[in-house]
Amino acid sequence: MNGPDFFHEDAVMSGGARIVAGVDEVGRGPLAGPVTAAAVILDPARLPEGLNDSKKLTPARRATLNAAILAVAEVSIGHASVEEIDRLNILRASHLAMERAVAGLARAPDMALIDGNMAPAGLTVPARTIVRGDALSLSIAAASIVAKICRDRVMWDLAQHWPGYGWETNVGYPCKIHRDALRDLGVTPHHRRSFKPVHNILYQDK
């Protein structure tokens, strides 16, 4: 297979669903920033060409496809904050972001196609999970692109206010620059205190 297709969407539509949303999240692994999800309802008659798992695309290609998706699809974004990540845990927070993304759609989908093997418990619409869905389903691939672009922009904006951590390029992931800045500059309000590298710095002397 060269990339995702519309097989899963066609399957649920043949079963009676009229509106199908793809849902994906980004940002489980970073030490800082929110976790972000997108829900995307594609128009089968106007599918952007070249959709793929966002991780397989260059930044320039992601930006081009994001604009193409926004031009023809219904899109909603949901975030879960650092505070919610620390309070709930990252899995539940990522599900909360997905729930918010789906709830924010102008039209409630008849089926939500969820990337992964676990559907968020708080969804108010029927859902089907697809492992590696961003590589298999065009709707989920579109959601992965939109979520990635949106979260990257959030982290770029935070980087302007909290320089030194490299968030404009590492978007909060624990690379060497970010780890060194944590050690040298300290923990910001945007760091996830429940994540071990951050927790260890906060409590290493206690």
Kindly report the CA angle at 161 between 159 and 163, in degrees rounded to 5?
55
Give the H/E segment covering residue 144. Answer: helix 138-161
Query: Residue 74 annotated as binding?
Result: no
Query: Residue 49 annotated as binding?
Result: no
β-strand partners of 41:
74
Distance between CA atoms of residues 12 and 6, nearest Å:
10
Query: Residue 25 annotated as binding?
Result: yes
Backbone angles phi, psi at 157, to 5 degrees: -65, -45
Full strand arrangement of the beta sheet holding 127-130: 74-80, 35-41, 20-26, 111-115, 127-130
Distance between CA atoms of residues 185 and 127, nearest Å:
43
Burial class of 205 by CB neighbour count within 10 A (0 to 12, 13 to 18, 19+): exposed
Burial class of 199 by CB neighbour count within 10 A (0 to 12, 13 to 18, 19+): middle
Q: Give the position of tokens 């990252």.
A: 90
Q: Which residues are annotated as a binding site?
A: 24-25, 115
Q: Which residues are annotated as a binding site for a divalent metal cation?
A: 24-25, 115
